[in-house]
């Protein structure tokens, strides 16, 4: 069979794409710890902007100066307040977005609670109500909102669901659900009885996720067909799961927490 010029060009293009995809999947990734802070509020997650990081506690947020590690401002929900369980945070377009749920209550309800990072005043909210599960992280990537909704093995007798029902949902700017995916078995086994606690889109275009306890990040990509995220890599990181964040002002830095001794960890992203 003779191929014309255009067919040959197309074949060469496809071969080149396949080559670069294979190269990206074989990248050696690692995180090198460069700094850590003793932060009493480092319980659920961390958010970061150019000059500050924000330790997310269950019912509070503390703002710290990155250069000095000094506390700048702190917000705490009052004892009878409406905030039940913050899980993680992310700075998007000058606002601090926090995933929120009624954990450990059920039926599970979820919302996104939005704060002014300058003052830590609560300024907006978006409720998901009883819908996909317990919201554990939120991020924006490619012009869309992304959020994870956890399910837990320990409640399977009450909810008739388990960790396998945990999903990542893609939303438009009006929080209308567009698509969703579940995690592959290799990652679900790592989550064990808990679930996906942290998630943040990395500078390499992959989704980095963490569980509740394991000191590692799961590098994932959207599948070209079907509904199951594809595992690209597992990268050790000095954390105990929980919420994570990429420093989008300097893409080489990755923030995590070590909940057991209340530390915020800054790691440098290394890739070959």
Overall average pLDDT of the 151-175 stretch: 93
Taking all residues of the chain, what is their mean pLDDT, rounded to a whole number?
90
Q: Which domain holds residue 150?
A: 31-271
- Predicted confidence band of residue 7 (pLDDT cuts 50, 70, 90): low
Per-residue model confidence (pLDDT) at position 157? 85
d(CA 99, CA 85): 9
- Predicted confidence band of residue 21 (pLDDT cuts 50, 70, 90): very low
pTM: 0.88
- Give domain status of residue 1, yes or no: no
**pLDDT tens figures, 30-66:** 999 999 999 999 999 999 999 999 999 999 999 999 9
- Give domain status of residue 121, yes or no: yes
Domain holding 234: CATH number? 2.120.10.30
Tell me how many domains the chain contains.
1
- Give domain status of residue 5, yes or no: no
Q: Is the pLDDT at 240 greater than 90, yes or no? A: no
Overall average pLDDT of the 189-207 stretch: 93
Residue whose tokens read 């992310």: 90
Cβ(214)–Cβ(259) under 8 Å?
Answer: no
- Give domain status of residue 182, yes or no: yes
- Give domain status of residue 263, yes or no: yes
- Give domain status of residue 59, yes or no: yes
Quickly list DSSP for 79-131. Answer: TT-S--EEEEEEEETTEEEEEEE-TTSSS--EEEEEE-TTT--EEEEEEEESS
Cβ(197)–Cβ(136) under 8 Å?
Answer: yes
- Give domain status of residue 26, yes or no: no
- Give domain status of residue 9, yes or no: no
For 120-134, letters b (16+ CB in 10 Å) and e give bebeeebebeeebbb
Smallest Cα–Cα separation from 149: which of 97, 213, 84, 196?
196
**pLDDT tens figures, 95-128:** 999 999 999 998 999 999 999 999 999 999 999 9
Smallest Cα–Cα separation from 139: which of 188, 205, 85?
205
């Amino acid at each position: 069979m003779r191929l014309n010029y255009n067919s040959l060009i197309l074949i060469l293009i496809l071969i080149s794409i396949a080559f670069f995809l294979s190269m990206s999947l074989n990248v050696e990734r690692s995180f090198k710890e460069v700094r850590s802070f003793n932060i009493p509020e480092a319980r659920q997650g961390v958010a970061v902007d150019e000059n500050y990081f924000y330790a997310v506690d269950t019912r509070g947020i503390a703002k710290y100066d990155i250069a000095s590690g000094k506390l700048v401002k702190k917000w705490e929900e009052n004892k009878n307040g409406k905030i039940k369980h913050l899980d993680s945070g992310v700075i998007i377009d000058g606002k601090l977005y926090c995933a929120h749920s009624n954990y450990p209550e059920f039926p599970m309800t979820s919302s996104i609670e939005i704060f002014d990072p300058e003052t830590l005043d609560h300024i907006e909210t978006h409720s998901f109500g009883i819908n996909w599960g317990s919201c554990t992280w939120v991020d924006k990537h490619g012009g869309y909102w992304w959020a994870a909704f956890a399910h837990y093995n320990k409640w399977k007798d009450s909810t008739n669901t388990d960790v396998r029902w945990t999903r990542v949902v893609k939303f438009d700017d009006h929080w209308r659900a567009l698509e969703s995916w579940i995690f592959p078995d290799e990652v679900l086994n790592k989550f064990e009885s808990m679930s996906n606690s942290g998630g943040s889109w990395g500078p390499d275009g992959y989704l980095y996720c963490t569980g509740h306890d394991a000191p590692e990040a799961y590098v994932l990509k959207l599948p070209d067909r079907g509904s199951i995220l594809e595992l690209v890599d597992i990268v050790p990181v000095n954390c105990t799961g929980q919420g994570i964040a990429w420093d989008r002002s300097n893409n080489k830095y990755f923030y995590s927490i070590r909940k057991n001794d209340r530390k915020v960890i800054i790691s440098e992203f290394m890739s070959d």
